[in-house]
Structure formats: C-alpha cells, structure tokens
C-alpha cells in the first residue's frame, strides 16, 4: 500500500460496487499505481461501501452496466470526473454524457498525458485533453482509442492492497493478480472482448511475468496468484505454471478454454492448488458453431476425461439461453450434453445458466431481450435438468442490464 502523503495533486479512483469484488479489479489497480508513482500525486481507491471521495479529480471504473447508475449517484458536485472500462468501451456515447471525459483503450497510454495537462492548466484542462488519443469529451472531439503496442514496456501494478481483515465474500482471498495477456483470439458472435483490441492478442513475456511474480509476492506478502486473462491461452502457460509450482505458490484460474487444455496443463494447475475449474460451453454443439464458438462436444468430453485423470474435484459450467436462433431442439440438445458431461465427470459439477444480453459492436448487437421466449426456454430446462442445482440471475435484472444503456 502506498502510505498517505500530502501532495499537490490528488485523484480518487472509484469502483462503484462492493469492495469484496472491487479489490480484484485490475483497472483501478493500474491507475492507483500509475498515479502514486508520480512525485506530486496521491491516489486512493474508493468503493461503494468503503472510502469517501475527496479528490478534485475522480475516475470511475465501469465494469458492469448496472454500475453506471451507482457511479452517477456517487459523482461529486465539483471537480473533474472521468470514466473508463468495458462499459465505456461498449456504450461510449451513453456514458460520456454523464462525465467530463472518458478514456478509451489502454489506460497506461492515456493517463500520464492527462495528469501532465492537469498539472499545467486546470482552467483549460478539458479543452487541452481533447488532443490526447484515447480521450473523449462528449460532443467535443472525435472518438479515438489509445493502445500500448508492447505490454512489457509499461510498469505493472505491483502494489495491490487488501483490507487487514477479509471474510468469505473475498472469493480469492488475499492474493496477487497477474495479467498474462490482453485480448481474446476467439470471435464468438455474442462477446464484446475481441473488439476492444481489434482481435489482436498481446502477451507478457515469460521473463516479464517471472519478475512480476517475484516482486508482487514480495511487496504484498502473499503466496497466492490469480491469473487475469479472458482465456489463458498464453503460449508459455505450462512454463509459467511450472515456475509458480516451483515457488510453491497457490494459483487460481477464474476461467479456461477447455479445448486448449491438455492433461499436462491440468495436472500443473491441480499441483498449484486449484481444485475447481470453470468452463463455458454456452450451448449445444449445433448452436455453438452458429454463434462462432467452434468447439465440438467431443472436445469437452475429452477435457472432462483429462479432469478425471488430473483429479480435479469440481467443475463449474456456464451456459446461456435466449441466444439468437435457439430452438426447443437446441435446449434439449444442451440438456443432453450437460447430463452426459455430469455422468462422465467423477467430481462435483455445478451449473450456471445466464440469459443472453446483446452487446454493442457484436454480431448480435441488434438482438432484443425477449422475456417471453426466455421464460419458455427456462421452463423446458427445469423439466430436463432435474439432477442439477441450477444457478440463474433474476430475469428482471438481466432485462434492466439490456435496457439501461440502449443507445
């Protein structure tokens, strides 16, 4: 943690949701480190349930659509406010109306220039920053995105503070968050992530990751690493896991691509202390290929067999209903697929089914949220998946997520 110090300039970075989730968000940590490394600046992280906004320059990290209203309610009445994050990338015009400016793209390529202009002239600050690539002032300048060409070239957010006391709501415990890659090479029609980086993948080098692990564990005095990536397809993921294993560090992987896992990798993951894995087949095979998630059922069954051999204890499955073109037959196919998978897996299996919510910029951007169709599909599943305890969000909440930020 950067100790409090009285400085000429201050910035608060706000995660407008509960602290137990926000401490694991990488975006605010990047800003927290970038700002506090500057001589005349001090930055605090603020959460919905912890901390108070006091700085004259305030940034909001918007990870979820429903957090926008919370951020607007938290906004101070004076000073400058800005926002960034996935929601800003997806709903730029809608969000930008509520803040003095928004940041698009890699924050490391934008924030230093913003802070420099703030230091020079606060009276003409909003006019001056319009020239910075990646800064957008609503209705004043052209939309641009900033990019860090080589993510090894920027400093990593090594300081990652946790409260002195945490409870079970902090699902990963005290840990060090390790970004291995940015972007996603897969182009599923429902997913917005590839457009953030125009389909380009950026990987940290193995040497960079090893150095970051060593420094991060030392500075934060923890012995657990959470891998931060949309898909964990790093070309040297086995070498990385082996390094973590040799250091006797526990590892957590929030989600993986089943088709890119082999037995050796799963054994390394298990040896690093992870007992549970999460995958997202989304739907049955026919529809899966239609939405451009080209993974056959047999690849998932092969993955389950690898899980059995590696003695993985728990498998979390994420599926969706309401996908474009989803028929009754697709629902039945999905049910048969899940039942067969559960029969094959020797450990405990949990199932989460989410409602499809269209995202701007995707192939399915114009798809409506059909509550009637979703209720019908949910009813079919409830009759066929009697052996599963299914976790689902509230339909009203998902609908609100869709309708809230319609451009």
What residues of the chain score a pLDDT lower than 50? none
Query: Tokens 């995105």, residue?
Result: 145
Please name the residue ranges forming H helices in 205-327.
206-220, 237-246, 263-271, 285-290, 297-310
The yes or no reply on domain 9-136 and CATH 3.15.10 is no
The residue extents of the domains of the chain are 9-136, 172-404
Asked if residue 254 lies in contact with residue 175, where contact means CB atoms within 8 angstroms, the answer is no
- Read off the pLDDT of residues 260-310 as tens digits, 9 standing for 90 and up: 999 999 999 999 999 999 999 999 999 999 999 999 999 999 999 999 999
**What pLDDT score does 194 carry?**
72
Pairing assessment for the beta strands 181-182 and 202-203 based on DSSP bridges: antiparallel
Q: Report pLDDT for 341.
A: 97
Helices 26-36 and 111-120: angle between axes, nearest 10 degrees: 40
Q: What is the pLDDT of residue 405?
A: 61
Rounded-to-integer distance, Cα 36 and Cα 58, Å:
14
pLDDT at res. 186: 86
Give the whole-angstrom CA distance, residue 140 versus residue 91.
17
CATH 2.40.10.500 corresponds to the domain 172-404: no
Instruction: Please report the pLDDT score of residue 187 as a whole number.
Output: 85
Q: What is the DSSP letter of 191?
A: -
């Amino acid at each position: 943690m950067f100790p409090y110090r009285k400085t000429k300039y201050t910035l608060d970075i706000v995660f407008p949701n509960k602290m137990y989730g926000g401490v694991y968000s990488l975006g605010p940590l990047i800003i927290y480190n970038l700002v506090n490394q500057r001589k005349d600046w001090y930055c605090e992280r603020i959460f919905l349930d912890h901390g108070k906004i006091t700085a004259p320059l305030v940034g909001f990290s918007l990870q979820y659509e429903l957090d926008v209203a919370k951020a607007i309610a938290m906004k101070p009445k004076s000073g400058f406010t800005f926002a960034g994050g996935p929601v800003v990338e997806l709903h730029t015009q809608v969000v930008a109306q509520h803040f003095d400016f928004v940041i698009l793209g890699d924050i490391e390529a934008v924030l230093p220039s913003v802070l420099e202009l703030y230091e020079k002239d606060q009276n003409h600050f909003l006019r001056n920053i319009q020239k910075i690539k990646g800064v957008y002032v609503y209705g004043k300048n052209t939309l641009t995105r900033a990019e860090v060409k080589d993510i090894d070239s920027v400093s990593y957010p090594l300081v990652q503070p946790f409260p002195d006391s945490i409870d079970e709501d902090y699902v990963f415990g005290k840990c060090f968050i390790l970004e291995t890659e940015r972007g996603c090479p897969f182009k599923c029609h429902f997913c917005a992530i590839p457009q953030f980086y125009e389909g380009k993948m950026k990987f940290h080098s193995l040497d960079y990751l090893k150095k970051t692990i060593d420094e991060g564990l030392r500075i934060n005095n923890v012995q657990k690493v959470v891998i931060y990536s949309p898909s964990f397809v790093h070309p040297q993921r086995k070498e990385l896991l082996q390094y973590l294993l040799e250091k006797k560090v526990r590892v957590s992987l929030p989600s993986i691509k089943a088709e890119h896992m082999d037995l050796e990798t799963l054994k390394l993951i298990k040896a690093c202390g992870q007992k549970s894995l999460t995958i997202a087949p989304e739907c049955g095979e026919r529809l899966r290929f239609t939405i451009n998630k080209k993974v056959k059922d047999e690849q998932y069954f092969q993955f389950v067999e690898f899980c059995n051999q590696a003695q993985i204890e728990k498998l979390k499955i994420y599926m969706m209903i309401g996908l474009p073109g989803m028929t009754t037959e697709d629902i039945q196919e999905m049910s048969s697929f899940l039942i067969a998978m559960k029969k094959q897996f020797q450990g405990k299996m949990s199932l989460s089914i989410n409602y499809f919510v269209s995202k701007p910029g995707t192939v399915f951007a114009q798809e409506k949220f059909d509550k009637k169709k979703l209720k019908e599909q949910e009813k079919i599943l409830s009759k066929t998946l009697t052996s599963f305890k299914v976790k689902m969000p509230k339909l009203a909440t998902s609908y609100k997520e869709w309708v809230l930020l319609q451009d």
